């Protein structure tokens, strides 16, 4: 049997002769035979998993089909710990809540404070040392996380979020009042526009026009497309830049640096960089102006009844004691948009989908809205904690259709022991939340939509970490409370006015995994609710 030393010797001989056949043989040996010898030598130390392909390992799961579904299938086939390799990088899928104690540790000393290793793409996006999502500079991440969380938690911010979310829902309802009966409505598109406008208000206090444009397009009204440079409406410019930013984010996350210099891709890179610089300049200017406005107020009262300075997320960040830098503020606002828009869209669409199939659950939820809020009253933040059945509906829907079906942890400096296996430092752990949520070991009849699972002391009924739509531990979702508030307000505002029917009830929910599970298409009929 060949050993690695023997292979190295052959390589040396082949290269020293510099004959083309020797070189081809040597290259093949180096890239194909050598990794396989290494793989089979170490196989007994690895957890079960698929055989890696030469060079790319098991990277082909990114090439065909839905990535989240492929990872789900791997856990299904190989069990609670599944070893995969991507371009020589070891990645392990974990799909048992009993193996998550270390990975989801709430300790500041946890070895798993990193999400993913540094990549050229994240560096290009400036996310390696700024913000939270992919920040690998742990002291910096810790600092940012503190002010991100502090800015989201004051009651005045939650009150304002409730008010702005309801305001945007009412605007959408106004547009929908012109919809004819039996008209097919693309709910996912409407919610995309809605979440963009809502986040504009909540994050930066800027009134944008995504829903207005969506309405104009749906009624065939002419919209003049101007270039970014000609755009004079600042809200509109910001919206367009942010929408281009989402494309840049997906590009730099998935396209390896190796390919950036290829002729066709080079122009795409150039465009993304132009947008990133444009957006940064715009945001820094925006932050400066808000700072001046706040400074010009002698005594800033962070209270939404005070007409002067609104307690939106941007104001909260600027008035933090720690004084985050404009770059930190800019990145936090960006992440609030990227983490808050698609997630809210998918959550609402999956609830609408499940309720359309379970009218008995919809009936109970609407009854709760009528008894807690009343038929026409504006929802207030004090109503929200009383909506326990609605909360159970949201939880059950996020269990079946988690927006983020997989999250990651990474230990760059220390080896780890998970279950019976030893992992060298630098191993990436993919936590297969979507698989755990649908495992009959933890949830009986897992595909059955049953909100009752989440009533009463439900946390005592399931293993710790079995239900994790927002992750756990030090890198769990800091937007969790805000997301729950927004989802409840949207459901209460829309469902007291309307009921939704699926255009094609026999079709599954169309989810596509990009950075999160996104709805690729959802068609509904929007029918006025008759309250009796």
Residues that bind ligand HEM (CB under 6 A): 115, 132-133, 145, 335-336, 339-340, 343-344, 347, 403-404, 407, 469-473, 475-479, 482-483
Beta carbon of residue 482, minimum distance to ligand HEM (angstroms, whole number): 5
R_g of the chain, CA atoms, integer Å: 25
Going by C-beta distance under 8 Å and a sequence separation of 6 or more, which residues neighbour residue 54? Answer: 31, 32, 35, 36
> In the bound complex, which residue of the shown chain has the CB atom lying closest to ligand HEM?
471
- Distance, in Å, from the CA atom of 407 to the CA atom of 433, rounded to the nearest integer, reads 7
Read off the DSSP letter of residue 114: B
Contact, 522 vs 188, CB < 8 A?
yes
Q: Indicate the residue among 158 and 179 with the shorter CB distance to ligand HEM.
A: 158
Beta carbon of residue 407, minimum distance to ligand HEM (angstroms, whole number): 4
Beta carbon of residue 458, minimum distance to ligand HEM (angstroms, whole number): 18
Beta carbon of residue 18, minimum distance to ligand HEM (angstroms, whole number): 50
Q: Indicate the residue among 304 and 409 with the shorter CB distance to ligand HEM.
A: 409
Q: For 401, list phi and psi in degrees, rounded to 5.
A: -120, 75
Beta carbon of residue 330, minimum distance to ligand HEM (angstroms, whole number): 14
Q: Indicate the residue among 304 and 475 with the shorter CB distance to ligand HEM.
A: 475
Q: Indicate the residue among 57 and 478 with the shorter CB distance to ligand HEM.
A: 478
Q: Indicate the residue among 475 and 496 with the shorter CB distance to ligand HEM.
A: 475
Expressed in angstroms, the distance from the first to the final Cα of the chain is 81
Q: Indicate the residue among 160 and 403 with the shorter CB distance to ligand HEM.
A: 403
Beta carbon of residue 44, minimum distance to ligand HEM (angstroms, whole number): 31
Going by C-beta distance under 8 Å and a sequence separation of 6 or more, which residues neighbour residue 225? Answer: none
Q: Indicate the residue among 57 and 97 with the shorter CB distance to ligand HEM.
A: 97
Neighbouring CB atoms inside 10 A of 494's CB total: 21
Q: For 43, list phi and psi in degrees, rounded to 5.
A: -50, -40
Q: Indicate the residue among 49 and 430 with the shorter CB distance to ligand HEM.
A: 430
Going by C-beta distance under 8 Å and a sequence separation of 6 or more, which residues neighbour residue 71? Answer: 61, 93, 405, 406, 430, 432, 434, 435
Neighbouring CB atoms inside 10 A of 462's CB total: 15
Beta carbon of residue 405, minimum distance to ligand HEM (angstroms, whole number): 9
Contact, 259 vs 251, CB < 8 A?
no
Beta carbon of residue 340, minimum distance to ligand HEM (angstroms, whole number): 3
- Known binding residue 91? Answer is no
- Distance, in Å, from the CA atom of 352 to the CA atom of 434, rounded to the nearest integer, reads 20
Burial class of residue 320 (count of CB atoms within 10 Å of its CB; 0-12, 13-18, 19+): middle
Q: For 214, list phi and psi in degrees, rounded to 5.
A: -60, -45
- Distance, in Å, from the CA atom of 390 to the CA atom of 378, rounded to the nearest integer, reads 17
Q: Indicate the residue among 121 and 340 with the shorter CB distance to ligand HEM.
A: 340
Q: Indicate the residue among 132 and 372 with the shorter CB distance to ligand HEM.
A: 132
Beta carbon of residue 13, minimum distance to ligand HEM (angstroms, whole number): 49
Nearest CA to 493 among 164, 11, 207?
Answer: 164
Beta carbon of residue 450, minimum distance to ligand HEM (angstroms, whole number): 20
Going by C-beta distance under 8 Å and a sequence separation of 6 or more, which residues neighbour residue 241? Answer: 228, 275, 278, 279, 282
Q: Which helix (H) or strand (E) segment is 165 a member of?
A: helix 155-176
Contact, 187 vs 500, CB < 8 A?
yes
Q: Indicate the residue among 175 and 493 with the shorter CB distance to ligand HEM.
A: 493
Read off the DSSP letter of residue 429: E
CA 424 to mean position of chain CA atoms: 28
Q: Indicate the residue among 52 and 430 with the shorter CB distance to ligand HEM.
A: 430
Beta carbon of residue 54, minimum distance to ligand HEM (angstroms, whole number): 32
Going by C-beta distance under 8 Å and a sequence separation of 6 or more, which residues neighbour residue 528? Answer: 497, 498
H/E/C letters for each residue in 457-490? CHHHHCCCCCCCCCCCHHHCCCCHHHHHHHHHHH
- Residues 225, 345, 61: CA angle, nearest 5 degrees: 95
Structure-derived torsion over alpha carbons of residues 267, 273, 279, 284, reported in degrees to the nearest 10: -160
Beta carbon of residue 56, minimum distance to ligand HEM (angstroms, whole number): 26
Contact, 146 vs 321, CB < 8 A?
no
Task: Please give the annotated binding residues for heme, written as ranges.
Answer: 477
Per the annotation, binding residues are: 477
């Amino acid at each position: 049997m060949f050993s690695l030393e023997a292979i190295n010797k052959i390589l040396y001989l082949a290269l020293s002769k510099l004959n083309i056949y020797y070189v081809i043989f040597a290259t093949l040996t180096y890239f194909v035979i050598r990794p396989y010898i290494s793989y089979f030598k170490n196989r007994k130390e690895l957890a079960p998993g698929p055989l890696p392909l030469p060079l790319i390992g098991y990277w082909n799961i990114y090439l065909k089909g839905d990535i989240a579904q492929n990872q789900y299938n791997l856990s299904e086939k190989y069990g609670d710990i599944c070893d995969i390799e991507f371009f020589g990088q070891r990645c392990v899928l974990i799909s048992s809540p009993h193996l998550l104690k270390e990975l989801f540790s709430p300790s500041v000393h946890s070895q798993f404070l990193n999400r993913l290793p540094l990549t050229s793409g994240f560096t290009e996006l400036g996310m390696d040392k700024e913000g939270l999502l992919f920040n690998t500079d742990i002291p910096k991440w810790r600092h940012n996380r503190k002010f991100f969380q502090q800015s989201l938690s004051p009651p005045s911010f939650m009150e304002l979020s409730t008010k702005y979310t309801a305001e945007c829902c009412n605007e959408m309802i106004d547009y929908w009042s012109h919809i004819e009966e039996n008209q097919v409505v693309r709910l996912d598109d409407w919610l995309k526009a809605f979440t963009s406008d809502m986040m504009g208000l909540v994050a930066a206090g800027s009134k944008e026009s995504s829903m207005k444009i969506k309405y104009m397009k749906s009624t065939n009204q002419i919209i003049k497309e101007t270039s970014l440079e000609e755009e004079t409406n600042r809200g509109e410019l910001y919206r367009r830049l942010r929408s281009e930013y989402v494309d840049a984010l997906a590009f730099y996350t998935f396209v390896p640096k190796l390919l950036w210099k290829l002729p066709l891709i080079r122009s795409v890179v150039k465009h993304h960089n132009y947008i990133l610089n444009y957006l940064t300049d715009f945001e820094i200017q925006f932050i400066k102006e808000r700072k001046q406005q706040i400074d010009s107020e002698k005594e800033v009262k962070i209270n939404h009844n005070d007409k002067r300075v609104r307690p939106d997320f941007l104001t909260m960040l600027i008035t933090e004691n720690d004084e985050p830098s404009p770059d930190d503020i800019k990145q936090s606002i960006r992440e609030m948009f990227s983490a808050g828009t698609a997630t809210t869209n998918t959550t609402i669409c999956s609830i609408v989908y499940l309720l359309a199939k379970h009218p008995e659950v919809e009936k109970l939820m609407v009854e709760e809205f009528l008894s807690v809020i009343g038929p026409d009253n504006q929802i207030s933040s004090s109503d929200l904690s009383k909506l326990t059945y609605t909360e159970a509906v949201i939880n059950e829907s996020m269990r079946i259709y988690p927006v983020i079906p997989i999250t990651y942890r990474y230990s760059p400096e220390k080896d780890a022991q998970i279950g019976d296996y030893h992992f060298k430092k630098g191993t990436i752990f993919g936590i297969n939340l979507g698989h755990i949520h649908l495992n009959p070991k933890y949830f009986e009849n897992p595909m059955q939509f049953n909100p009752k699972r989440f009533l009463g002391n439900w946390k005592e009924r399931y293993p710790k970490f079995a239900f994790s739509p927002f992750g756990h531990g030090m890198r769990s979702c800091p937007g969790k409370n805000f997301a729950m508030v927004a989802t409840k307000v949207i459901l209460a505002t829309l469902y007291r006015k309307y009921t939704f029917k699926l255009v094609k009830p026999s079709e599954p929910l169309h989810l596509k995994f990009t950075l999160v599970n996104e709805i690729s298409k959802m068609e509904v009929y929007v029918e006025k609710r008759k309250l009796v």
